């Protein structure tokens, strides 16, 4: 039986086993998928052992995405630019291959699941860490009017924007530089809102009719989600759909079939409040 797993630390909270088992059932495929707690100093050994024992594919989560990038012997263009890998598999030559499906998952959630648009929009990305880096190429491929990355440390945002400058109109700045600017879509790529914090954003930074998207998700609205509601956002979305859609893209890479995510999304949403 084909074996898959997600590697992380911590990992007990992961919904990936449920998601992938649902995908397998839906498509009539027989496989196993487990959540594996990996010691922080034992990632490379664990990956090598998994594939040596015939494992077919891995999802990678915190804190190992950068290590997975370094370990991969071949990386997709998206993973190369992101500097992080969340999907591993072996190709016909026995090479460990790395991909990053996070950005594809987020864009698909916004556009397919919620009928939103990135093309021609003014987009603001909050943060300059790995989560933001992982979604920048897919966002720019949607051809927004502009993409601004804002961070507490402006230099990090500016540096990140320079990396992706060849893909579209992107710039980096600090939060104070957002005065007098407004955006159609604001995406929170920081984890701060789960701790009850929101970046210091100007009151008028969200354009009338604008959407807000938090990459984090929880049973109750995140702090960023509550802020968005207070600003009168037309839609306030969290990252549960991103989680499911990035998993679907991993499943497609491994198994060659695209899962239907609609019913699973509702099941997972209901499970958060159980």
Active site residues: 65
189 carries a ligand binding annotation? no
Can you tell me which residue has the tokens 């996070």?
A: 102
> Is 83 annotated to bind ligand?
no
Q: How many CA atoms lie within 13 A of 16 on its CB side?
A: 25
> Is 102 one of the annotated binding-site residues?
yes
Ligand-binding site membership of 239 (annotated) = yes
Q: Is 166 annotated as a binding residue?
A: no
- Residue 193, annotated ligand binder? no
Task: Note the Cα 56 to chain centre separation in Å.
Answer: 22
Q: Which two tokens stand for residue 199?
A: 């970046």
Known binding residue 42? Answer is: no
Distance between terminal CA atoms of the chain?
32
Q: Which two tokens stand for residue 255?
A: 């198994």
Q: Is 56 annotated as a binding residue?
A: no
Short-list 230, 189, 232, 176, CA closest to 207: 232
Tokens of 232: 């009168």
Q: List, as residue ranges, the binding site for shikimate.
A: 14-16, 61, 86, 102, 217, 246
Q: List, as residue ranges, the binding site.
A: 14-16, 61, 86, 102, 127-131, 151-156, 215, 217, 239, 246
Q: List, as residue ranges, the binding site for NADP(+).
A: 127-131, 151-156, 215, 239
């Amino acid at each position: 039986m084909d074996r898959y797993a997600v590697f992380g630390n911590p990992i007990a909270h992961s919904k990936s086993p449920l998601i992938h088992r649902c995908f397998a059932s839906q498509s009539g495929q027989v496989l196993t998928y487990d959540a594996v707690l990996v010691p922080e100093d034992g990632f490379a050994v664990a990956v090598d052992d998994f594939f040596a024992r015939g494992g077919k594919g891995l999802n990678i989560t915190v804190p190992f995405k950068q290590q997975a990038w370094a370990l991969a012997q071949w990386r997709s263009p998206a993973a190369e630019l992101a500097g992080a890998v969340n999907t591993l598999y072996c190709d016909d030559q026995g090479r460990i291959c790395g991909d990053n499906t996070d950005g594809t998952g987020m864009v698909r959630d916004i556009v397919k699941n919620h009928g939103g648009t990135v093309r021609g929009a003014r987009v603001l990305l909050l943060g300059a860490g790995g989560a933001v880096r992982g979604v920048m190429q897919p966002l720019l491929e949607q051809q927004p009017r502009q993409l601004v990355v804002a961070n507490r440390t402006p230099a990090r945002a500016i540096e990140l924007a320079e990396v992706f400058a060849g893909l579209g109109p992107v710039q980096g700045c600090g939060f104070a530089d957002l005065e007098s600017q407004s955006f159609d879509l604001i995406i929170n790529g920081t984890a701060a809102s789960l701790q009850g914090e929101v970046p210091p954003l100007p009151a008028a930074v969200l354009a009338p009719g604008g959407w807000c998207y938090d990459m984090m998700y929880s049973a109750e609205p995140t702090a960023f989600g509550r802020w968005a509601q207070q600003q009168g956002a037309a839609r306030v979305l969290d990252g549960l759909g991103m989680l499911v859609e990035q998993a679907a893209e991993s499943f497609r890479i491994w198994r060659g079939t695209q899962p239907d995510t609609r019913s699973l999304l509702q099941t997972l949403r209901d499970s958060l409040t159980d």
